[in-house]
Amino acid sequence: MTSKLNRIYWDSTAFICFLRKYEGERRGICEDILYHARGGQVSLFTSTFTITEVIRPRNGDVKGARHLTPEEISEIEEMFQWPWLRKIDVDQRVARKAVELSRDYGLTPADAIHAASALIAQADVLQHWDRSSGFSGVDRLIPVEHPHKLSYG
């Protein structure tokens, strides 16, 4: 992408990718965006709902799945306290917009909350690492893309 992004919204998949040490290149891209957010070159937004999606048992509720340790949960909770990470609360306004997006674009409730939060934050882009885009159609309202390294000075 050639245009400069100032307001980036991340769904939970970007944070999960950042937390996975084995992600390699994708984790490096996330680190680059976080570096620029911490330095103030971009504003990084997410929903408070993201915290719920990131702090959950690994592999969902599959029998025998390993749950996060208290130390892992603490580390993740600290990440969501970064002062330069702007969080959009799931309030009535977000809920109403999410219902509208779910109805009009067939989004899942989680994707609708993320899209609504990104729109309310007036983000320039909604970034995610989903293999298949659950945000189909909403890209008419906000650009949707995979995260990429920023070329800011």
> Regarding beta strands 144-145 and 85-88, do their DSSP bridges make them parallel or antiparallel, or are they unpaired?
unpaired
CA distances from 50 to 7, 88, 132, 140 (A): 17, 10, 19, 23
* Residue 55 confidence (pLDDT): 86
- Model confidence pLDDT, tens digit, residues 46-79: 999 999 999 875 555 444 556 778 888 888 899 9
CATH of region 7-145: 3.40.50.1010
- Model confidence pLDDT, tens digit, residues 2-46: 456 799 999 999 998 888 888 889 999 999 999 999 999 999 999
Neighbours of 114 (CB within 10 A): 32
Instruction: Note whether 107 and 118 are within 8 A (CB).
Output: no
Instruction: Note whether 80 and 44 are within 8 A (CB).
Output: no
1 pLDDT above the threshold of 50: no
Instruction: Note whether 110 and 119 are within 8 A (CB).
Output: no
Residue 44 token pair = 């990084």
